[in-house]
Amino acid sequence: MQERVPKYINPYTDFGFKKLFGEEGNKDLLIDFLNQILPEKHQIRELSFRNPESLADLPFLRKAIFDIYCKGANGEDFIVEMQKEKLEFFKDRSLFAVSFPIQEQAKRGNWNFKLQHIYLIAILDFQYDEKEERKKFERYVQLKDQDGDVFYEKLHFHFLQMPLFKKTESELTNRFEKWCYFLKNLETFDTIPTILKEPIFEKAFRTSEIGAMNQAEYDVYKESLLSYWESLGMIDTARKEGKLEGKLEEKLEIAQKCIAKGMSDEETSELTGLSLDEVRKIS
């Protein structure tokens, strides 16, 4: 049986995520997506991207996060940070990341410390909630006191644990759910689902077509895809404390994906750390 070749990019890769949401020509996609998450008072009217090279001199920040400076329909300026990377100590790193746009609002001279609203929106291809009773697809977090009252209203965390989004096409009820359905299933689509036949999603599908890439773009995407597959096997917060029994299984799964993509046995061996004999057995 011939392996299926994906028609659309994997949006969780660094290339795919930025292709959809990080290019000037696709600002309308990003605005439409973010406006499904942000409150009414902060619906985006216009936005600009921050140069990722100006982030702190830390590779994970430049790779995993990009900042968006927004102006709301009410004229208020605010900042959105988007994150999609699977990271060890995920919550710690999220807090660390938002410290930069907070500090950078400081002004020289006589400054009254007034800050803009900051939203961190994380689209996660993993789940950090391990206990069944605590699992939530969508989690909105603010600083609150012991009585549950909001202590500080300008710092917002919005986490989407995409593996916990289970709705099918027939169950989608609003635009936010359509975007989640699009992102979770994009790489598996061969045609545009009927419910997503709207101009904004049709543009998102066109943007995501692998066949429309030039060779340079495809080479960058392939490298990004390999890095993504590698990260699935290298970073596993659930097994970190000496529990390594899942490593071989993960390597085998990555090897199968590499083979399905047409990679050579040598490339697959180098990527996964499996021996050539092991790779050939999988083939």
The whole-angstrom distance between residue 148's C-alpha and the CA centroid of its chain comes to 29
pLDDT of residue 227: 79
pLDDT of residue 149: 96
- Which of the given ranges, 80-94, 99-113, 149-163, has the highest pLDDT on average? 149-163
Q: What is the pTM of this model?
A: 0.78
Where would I find the H helices in the chain? Answer: 14-21, 27-35, 59-64, 90-103, 175-185, 199-208, 215-234, 247-260, 265-272, 276-282
Nearest CA-CA partner of 121 in 139, 136, 137 = 139
pLDDT of residue 140: 93
Number of Cβ within 10 Å of residue 110's Cβ equals: 5
pLDDT of residue 133: 67
In this prediction, residues 73-81 reach a mean pLDDT of: 85
Q: Which residues of 63-90 are buried (b: 16+ CB within 10 A; e: fewer)?
A: ebbbbbebebeeeeebbbbbbbbbbeeb
pLDDT of residue 236: 47
Q: Tens of pLDDT along 26-76?
A: 999 999 999 999 999 899 999 988 765 444 455 545 555 667 889 888 888
The whole-angstrom distance between residue 119's C-alpha and the CA centroid of its chain comes to 15
In this prediction, residues 126-133 reach a mean pLDDT of: 73
pLDDT of residue 261: 66
SS3 for 241? Answer: coil
Q: Tens of pLDDT along 144-197?
A: 999 999 999 999 999 999 989 999 999 999 999 999 999 999 999 999 999 999
Average pLDDT across the chain, whole number: 82
pLDDT of residue 135: 85
In this prediction, residues 89-112 reach a mean pLDDT of: 83
Q: Tens of pLDDT along 200-258?
A: 999 999 999 999 999 999 999 988 888 787 766 544 443 444 433 445 666 777 777 77
CA distance 124 to 14: 13
In this prediction, residues 77-100 reach a mean pLDDT of: 78
Q: Tens of pLDDT along 7-20?
A: 999 998 889 998 99
